[in-house]
A and B are shown apart, each in its own frame.
Chain A
């Protein structure tokens, strides 16, 4: 098991021949990902680390991909996602940062219409250790196991995953949802999937200031989630009105404070860590009881 991506995942990389594309095709293959094709307009016929490159997604379908990884620059991201959706790809991971919000809105809604799952934009991707990785998360931090992680942040998640692994706690799936205000897969989508996933026994949510996704997640957990949930929220000291690196990390009009999110989690009976690495200790302690 695992959620959204697993051993059956066959990846096509859009934006395959740039520096990023080449690097991450190699890294994904080392992780064990089945990368079946790459797409870069005008580069059809080439190869990247043995992966055939096509001019467009439709031609790459002869390799039967079912998941796309988008690494193209922001102005072309919407076009790339829609191309993948029109080709029938049902899982799309958008790494690209600085995608215009209106573009993200449109491809997310088009994705819903096409019954597809879009992860991101502005995310590090998703990894199911022992099975596959679709994204740019570092390989060496993971260990197969039964903790599911969903996060709005990249490196902060690596810190937490790394601390789990160092403590002998493995992961089922680690999903980076993205740091933008408008994202395709939310905490609630991840929670729903983790609850149903046989492999996942505990869930970690890594949130940050901005929006109300954590409050909505807390409410959902109260009503639907039976597995233990642990949380960390970044930005307790962030001032209102300032964008803290991520486009979505902003306290606007009094909404999106860390206090509100922490209070919502606590109200739902969820343990909230003060330091990221503390998550590992919490899970360990609970396992001892």
Chain B
């Protein structure tokens, strides 16, 4: 779960990391309540990067300019994300800019703290030799000798606090870019925080942020169904994340474009199958491609669930089904007539692609 900048900065404050004076504004008259002396910086709150380049940050000198900026920002869409909140902050007189972050390093299976003198730019564009990398063992945590490598007591203190936040709040990523020196004080001028979804159950104190998902994706999340909306018009239902991805890839081989990724997982619960089909119908695909491999999940049980939905509620678009594994014959028999059954993976992908054109 991604946090907005202002939410991340709230967390920074809780961990005694300095942030600029600021206030979140959602309506124009909210600007009157901002008790911060001008000049201000007004920052569109979105969950995607590249905000500055898209014009989502404005500097203003007075209320007249602030109101104008407010309307410009509120109407904006940044990479498909509508701006609904603006963070108004004191404009800082920045003398130095740094970069600091902590992530889960997948290959080393450790925490990785990164620090660079080149703050304020995308870390991907910074040369590797200009990034200080410190790997932290998750069992013993960050050590003082590691913090000394930062060669700055104030930054070391912030790194230590940031590590505490990272660990205690189950973060996948915490990033301060830029970490600035303004009026002699080290401050977080921005925040980027991603919380591990799997750990949200133990963080009820955190805000719930779901804006990065579409409405249907949110509905699916509530129902515990892995569901991703893509650009195309073929809805794919398969069991298992890898198989669902492989099915989308197979469509592409025949010129088909996946519109929905729906992973049924290990379920053969007819109710879950029904929910999955209902979600898929709402996404309005031109054709549905059902690709099942039955192992522990028996094909015929899933087929019964599918048949029940089709019988009861009908479906406007064609359904191509390819079913393999445990009880495949029974499943094919159940679905015969109701859907187009094709035993081969390639052939079924080809057919679904043709119907999707």
Residues of A at under 8 Å CB distance from B? 23, 27, 74-75, 98-103, 105-106, 108-110, 113, 136-138, 140-141, 151-159, 162, 179, 181-182, 206, 208-209, 211-213, 216, 232, 234-239, 242-249, 253-254, 258, 274-277
- Among B17-25, B180-188, B238-246, the one that faces the other chain is B238-246
Contact assessment for B242 and A206 in the assembled complex, using a CB-CB cutoff below 8 Å: yes
Please measure, in the bound complex, the distance between the C-alpha atom of A138 and the C-alpha atom of B231, giving whole angstroms. Answer: 34
Contact assessment for A236 and B252 in the assembled complex, using a CB-CB cutoff below 8 Å: yes
Contact assessment for B139 and A113 in the assembled complex, using a CB-CB cutoff below 8 Å: yes
Contact assessment for B346 and A157 in the assembled complex, using a CB-CB cutoff below 8 Å: no
A-B contact pairs, 30 of them (CB 8 A): A75-B201, A75-B202, A99-B198, A100-B198, A138-B325, A138-B326, A140-B326, A141-B325, A151-B242, A153-B241, A153-B243, A154-B242, A156-B240, A156-B243, A156-B246, A179-B242, A213-B106, A213-B107, A236-B252, A238-B248, A245-B228, A245-B263, A246-B241, A246-B242, A248-B106, A258-B249, A274-B253, A275-B345, A276-B345, A277-B346
Interface size on B (CB < 8 Å)?
51
Please measure, in the bound complex, the distance between the C-alpha atom of A167 and the C-alpha atom of B196, giving whole angstroms. Answer: 42
Contact assessment for B324 and A162 in the assembled complex, using a CB-CB cutoff below 8 Å: yes
Known A235-B245, A244-B245; further 20 A-B contacts with Cβ < 8 A: A101-B104, A101-B198, A102-B138, A109-B109, A109-B138, A141-B295, A154-B240, A156-B243, A158-B295, A159-B243, A159-B246, A159-B293, A208-B242, A236-B252, A237-B251, A245-B228, A245-B261, A247-B197, A253-B124, A275-B346
Asked if B146 lies at the interface with its beta carbon under 8 angstroms from chain A, I say no
Asked if B14 lies at the interface with its beta carbon under 8 angstroms from chain A, I say no
| Set of chain B residues within 8 Å of A109, measured between Cβ atoms | 109-110, 137-139
Please measure, in the bound complex, the distance between the C-alpha atom of A244 and the C-alpha atom of B260, giving whole angstroms. Answer: 11
Contact assessment for B325 and A162 in the assembled complex, using a CB-CB cutoff below 8 Å: yes
Contact assessment for A98 and B239 in the assembled complex, using a CB-CB cutoff below 8 Å: no
Residues of B at under 8 Å CB distance from A? 104, 106-107, 109-111, 124, 137-139, 167, 170, 172, 196-199, 201-202, 226, 228, 230-231, 238-246, 248-253, 258, 261, 263, 266, 293-296, 324-326, 345-346
Please measure, in the bound complex, the distance between the C-alpha atom of A179 and the C-alpha atom of B226, giving whole angstroms. Answer: 13
| Set of chain A residues within 8 Å of B249, measured between Cβ atoms | 234-237, 258, 274
| Set of chain B residues within 8 Å of A75, measured between Cβ atoms | 201-202
Please measure, in the bound complex, the distance between the C-alpha atom of A110 and the C-alpha atom of B138, giving whole angstroms. Answer: 9
Given A182-B109, A213-B107, A239-B230, A74-B248 contact (CB < 8 Å): no
Contact assessment for A106 and B138 in the assembled complex, using a CB-CB cutoff below 8 Å: yes
Task: Identify the interface centre among A106, A156, A181, A254: most chain B CB within 10 Å of its CB.
Answer: A156
- Closest CB in chain B relative to A82 CB, distance in Å: 11
Contact assessment for B325 and A277 in the assembled complex, using a CB-CB cutoff below 8 Å: no
| Set of chain A residues within 8 Å of B202, measured between Cβ atoms | 75, 100
Contact assessment for A162 and B198 in the assembled complex, using a CB-CB cutoff below 8 Å: no
| Set of chain A residues within 8 Å of B124, measured between Cβ atoms | 253-254
Please measure, in the bound complex, the distance between the C-alpha atom of A244 and the C-alpha atom of B241, giving whole angstroms. Answer: 7
Q: Which of A181, A211, A245 contacts B245 (CB 8 A)?
A: A245
Please measure, in the bound complex, the distance between the C-alpha atom of A151 and the C-alpha atom of B167, giving whole angstroms. Answer: 29
| Set of chain B residues within 8 Å of A138, measured between Cβ atoms | 294-296, 325-326
Q: Which of A108, A154, A208 contacts B109 (CB 8 A)?
A: A108
Please measure, in the bound complex, the distance between the C-alpha atom of A216 and the C-alpha atom of B108, giving whole angstroms. Answer: 11
Select from chain A the residue with minimum beta-carbon distance to B203. A100
| Set of chain B residues within 8 Å of A153, measured between Cβ atoms | 240-243
Contact assessment for A100 and B242 in the assembled complex, using a CB-CB cutoff below 8 Å: no
| Set of chain B residues within 8 Å of A110, measured between Cβ atoms | 139
Task: Identify the interface centre among B124, B172, B249, B258: most chain A CB within 10 Å of its CB.
Answer: B249
Contact assessment for A212 and B106 in the assembled complex, using a CB-CB cutoff below 8 Å: yes
- Closest CB in chain B relative to A259 CB, distance in Å: 12
Select from chain B the residue with minimum beta-carbon distance to A99. B198
Contact assessment for A101 and B201 in the assembled complex, using a CB-CB cutoff below 8 Å: no
Given A212-B107, A245-B261, A234-B199 contact (CB < 8 Å): no
Given A100-B198, A106-B139, A249-B109 contact (CB < 8 Å): no
Given A101-B199, A156-B240, A216-B107, A249-B245 contact (CB < 8 Å): yes
- Closest CB in chain B relative to A85 CB, distance in Å: 12
Please measure, in the bound complex, the distance between the C-alpha atom of A187 and the C-alpha atom of B170, giving whole angstroms. Answer: 26
- Closest CB in chain B relative to A150 CB, distance in Å: 13
Q: Which of B104, B252, B295 contacts A155 (CB 8 A)?
A: B295
| Set of chain A residues within 8 Å of B261, measured between Cβ atoms | 238, 244-245
- Closest CB in chain A relative to B219 CB, distance in Å: 16
- Closest CB in chain A relative to B252 CB, distance in Å: 5
Please measure, in the bound complex, the distance between the C-alpha atom of A213 and the C-alpha atom of B106, giving whole angstroms. Answer: 8
| Set of chain A residues within 8 Å of B238, measured between Cβ atoms | 155
Please measure, in the bound complex, the distance between the C-alpha atom of A156 and the C-alpha atom of B144, giving whole angstroms. Answer: 45
| Set of chain A residues within 8 Å of B294, measured between Cβ atoms | 138
- Closest CB in chain B relative to A18 CB, distance in Å: 14
| Set of chain A residues within 8 Å of B245, measured between Cβ atoms | 156, 208-209, 234-235, 237-238, 244-245, 249
| Set of chain A residues within 8 Å of B266, measured between Cβ atoms | 136, 154
Contact assessment for B228 and A244 in the assembled complex, using a CB-CB cutoff below 8 Å: yes
